Structure 1
Amino acid sequence: MTTAQALPRGRTAVALVRALIYAVLIVVVFYVVPLRMAVDVGTLVRLVVGLAVLGALIGWQVRGIARSPYPSLRALETLAVALPLFLMLFAGTYTVLSQVDPASFSEPMARTDAVYFTVTVFATVGFGDISPVSTAARVVVTVQMLANLLLLGYVVRAILSAVDRGRGRLSSATD
């Protein structure tokens, strides 16, 4: 690693703390903000709009990562926002589904149960203790599984590629 690419300890510590703060704030907002308790086409539209906004945010951040003097730290901060936001979007949707129709899942879910279920689906663990029962719940879980693949495949690859471009830009600038 060249001098231009070295990560100063202070900057690294600040980036790690900032990433932790972002992640914690997103989770706190999930628990504090009231959720609209209605399941209709609007519920799916809100989820899709939330995912589109997340996609736009990630796209904007990927450009910033490539231009950053510390692309790895910027990538860390991007993931610290994107991953919890992605998970909380689905957890919120599952919470609403379960509150409106407790038979949507094999057991009723509060917010923490929905976070647990969302992370279980994301991690592809599938313990089987909570499962979607209604068609609406199965559709949303299917959307999450497909979005998981996109996030893990395309988004992580785009972020890593941006880090490489940023490092290449920095090394060519110091040559």
Structure 2
Amino acid sequence: MVQRDELKGQCPPHIWYPPHTCPANSPFVEWGKGAINSSETFPKPEHESVGPSERDIAVADIWPLLPATIGAGATILLLLMANHKQWNNERDDEDFEGFPEPQDTPVGSAVVVIYSIIATAGVSYYVFRVLTSTDGHMLTTFIPVASAISLLLIYFAAAYDLEYHMVPGSFSGKRFGNDIVSELFTFVYFSVTTFATASMGDFSPISDASRILVTLEVLFFIYIFTMGIVFFADP
């Protein structure tokens, strides 16, 4: 009898073994020892809400990249529009010899240099935030950091090309290109080799503004190199 009383309110052993308390709506429930009172309320398990991590916030917070993005896009668009206008004039006039050489514009060069400093500072700050919020996980930092660096390299290529058109003789070298598109490819090559400090010497900055731009890009490489050492050396 004692064993039978203890099994009241529990499912038969041939269904669940060892015997468990039946659900409240089960026909096997008998009010007794071990029965479930359907009127009782059970507290819901508290699940800790997991929000975005610090790394996710740093990666998604892309406002420091806006100066480089806007600058590169606007410069490339301006150069392409100028190239399209020149191509139309050459097509309409067979005797067209091209636009006259642009005059030296120190104000324009100063604007390019100042804006380049702002763009470089923004990308540097973004890289710093991403590297300092990932707890040493390399895979979670590679894509955002590589994307930010590539963006700045493209910006510098566009800035070099713009300086090349604003200031005659700002760069020395051969085979810059016959149009804006080929020039952009040339200056992308120059930007990448400058950043990697592996310049072959086929192109060189001559004007003060172009030298400042090259120096700024090399300083950015030193910053990235130093941050990489600190990031990987930190256990």
What is the TM-score normalised by the length of structure 1?
A: 0.63
Determine if contact 1:43/1:93 at 8 Å carries over to the other structure: yes
Residues 1:54 and 2:127 aligned together: no
Identify which of 151, 164, 168 aligns with 2:224.
Answer: 151
Q: What secondary structure is seen at the aligned counterpart in 1 of 2:144?
A: helix
Whole-angstrom distance in 2 between the partners of 1:51 and 1:161: 25
Q: What secondary structure is seen at the aligned counterpart in 1 of 2:164?
A: helix
Q: Which has the higher contact order (CA 8 A, sep 6+)?
A: 1
Identify which of 172, 192, 214 aligns with 1:119.
Answer: 192
Paired position in structure 1 for 2:73:
33
Q: What secondary structure is seen at the aligned counterpart in 2 of 1:131?
A: strand
Residues 1:94 and 2:160 aligned together: yes
Determine if contact 1:62/1:159 at 8 Å carries over to the other structure: yes
Paired position in structure 2 for 1:15:
none
How far the C-alpha of 1:126 sits from its partner, in A, is: 2.0
Whole-angstrom distance in 1 between the partners of 2:123 and 2:233: 19
Kindly provide the CA deviation profile for residues 99-143 of structure 1, in whole angstroms up to 9, marking residues without a partner as x. 212411014462111110011112222211111111221221122
Paired position in structure 1 for 2:150:
84
Give ranges in structure 2 of 5+ residues lacking alignment: 1-68, 80-104, 178-182
Relative to its length, the structure with more helix (as a share) is: 1
Paired position in structure 1 for 2:56:
none
Q: What secondary structure is seen at the aligned counterpart in 2 of 1:140?
A: helix
How far the C-alpha of 1:161 sits from its partner, in A, is: 4.8
Q: 1:85 to 1:128 in 2, by over 3 A?
A: same
Q: 1:121 to 1:97 in 2, by over 3 A?
A: same
Kindly provide the CA deviation profile for residues 21-56 of structure 1, in whole angstroms up to 9, marking residues without a partner as x. xxxxxxxx79x8331578332211211111111122
* CA root-mean-square deviation: 2.6
Paired position in structure 2 for 1:136:
209
Whole-angstrom distance in 2 between the partners of 1:159 and 1:79: 12
Letter of the 2:128 partner, please give it.
Answer: G
Determine if contact 2:117/2:216 at 8 Å carries over to the other structure: no
Give ranges in structure 1 of 5+ residues lacking alignment: 1-28, 165-175
Letter of the 1:60 partner, please give it.
Answer: R
Query: Across the two proteins, how many residue pairs are aligned to each other?
Result: 130
Residues 1:43 and 2:112 aligned together: yes
